[in-house]
Amino acid sequence: MKRKPVRRKSPAKNTKKNGFLGRKIFSFMVVFAITILLMVGIYHYREGLKYYLGFKSRAASKEQIEDKRLSDVRNFQVLSKHQNNAIGIDVSEYQGTISWDAIGALEQKYPIHFVFIRATVGKDRLDRKFKDNWLGAKENKIICGAYHYYRPNENSLEQAALFIQTVQLNQGDLPPVLDIEQLPKEQSVARLKIGLRRWLQAIEAHYKVKPIIYTGEKYYEDFLKEEFGDYLFWIANYNFYREKIQEDWLFWQFTEKASLPGITGSVDVNIYNGDLQQLQFITIE
């Protein structure tokens, strides 16, 4: 006689139930973690958020609230941590026509002490607004400096000659600046460094002052920090997690998205690693 096969109960339902419960717990944990991160972020930026949203002063007028022009909360957060530092901007023809007599203070609180103005690009290009910007800033008693945008694939001494022909520096001006941001396409990094050194030496020989080097933080760390350690650096770093200038930076460009009366559109903002009196100490004698 044949026996009927015994059917065993499938655990499929229990497995399905356990899987659903696991996914639910995982989803809850993800939401919980995101909520905690948001709360921590809001708490960390609480002063910047209050100011940015216009709640810092109940007495603030509608016009004052509307005039708030910082592009994001981080800008205010950074500025609030450097209240004793000299604050400045850098400009070029990309800012268009600047009303220098209208240049005031960032958020009506942080005055502009200095400006770096682009003068030349490569071996043959003048910034179209350099002369106007230089005269305008000078007339409004802003400490001025000039910078050269270096093209890696062009002759370094020809680039230095163009800058020298274009820029006259006097007592009270900031040292000249070499802006290097690109890697070469037609030569090695080693040859690039030789060219940079030649530019720097030619400029120092002419102006009798050691130039400053501007670059991004990664470029600085990867290519310049070791071999150009005898120079002072102006570093660009816009990362949200950085809120204080590093000790070995002379200047820190912390944003490219600030707003300022007198300038249409965005402008870069820079912090000097010292106060106004210390800034004046590094100017040309």
CATH of the domain at 141: 3.20.20.80
Average pLDDT (64-71) is: 41
Same domain, 124 and 233: yes
Identify the band that residue 127 occupies on the pLDDT scale cut at 50, 70 and 90: very high
For residue range 20-50, list pLDDT tens digits in order: 566 667 666 766 666 666 554 444 544 444 4
One domain for residues 161 and 87: yes
Residue 54 lies in a domain: no
Span of 1-10, 255-264, 274-283 with lowest mean pLDDT: 1-10
Does 35 share its domain with 138? no
Q: What is the pTM of this model?
A: 0.77
> Quick one: 21 and 99 in the same domain?
no
Burial class (CB in 10 A: 0-12, 13-18, 19+), 229: exposed
Domain range for 205: 69-281
Q: Are residues 37 and 143 in the same domain?
A: no
Q: How confident is the model at residue 107 (pLDDT cuts 50, 70, 90)?
A: confident
Residue 3 in any domain: the answer is no
Contact 76/52 with Cβ under 8 angstroms? yes
Residues 18, 139, single domain; the answer is no
| Residue 97 is assigned to a structural domain of this protein | yes
For residues 19 and 116, membership in a common domain is answered with no
Would you say residue 39 lies in a domain?
Answer: yes
Mean pLDDT is lowest, of 4-8, 104-108, 273-277, for 4-8
Note whether 130 and 203 are same-domain residues: yes
In this prediction, residue 64 carries a pLDDT of: 39
Structure tokens at 169: 């520096």
Same domain (yes/no): 38, 95: no
Q: Which of 10-24, 89-103, 182-196, 229-243 has the lowest mean pLDDT?
A: 10-24
199 and 248 both lie in a single domain: yes
Q: Does residue 127 lie within any of the structural domains?
A: yes
**Span 84-96, average pLDDT:** 98
- CB 136 within 8 Å of CB 107: no
Q: Tens of pLDDT along 135-194?
A: 999 999 999 999 999 999 999 999 999 999 999 999 999 999 999 999 998 889 999 999
Tokens of 69: 């022009």
Task: Count Cα atoms within 13 angstroms, Cβ side, for 22.
Answer: 6
Domain membership of residue 5 (yes or no) is: no
Q: Same domain, yes or no, for 101 and 161?
A: yes
What's the total number of domains in the chain?
A: 2
Percent of the chain scoring above 90 in pLDDT: 68
Same domain, 153 and 269: yes
Kindly state whether residue 151 falls inside one of the protein's structural domains: yes
Alpha-carbon distance 259 to 267, whole Å? Answer: 6
Residue 6 lies in a domain: no
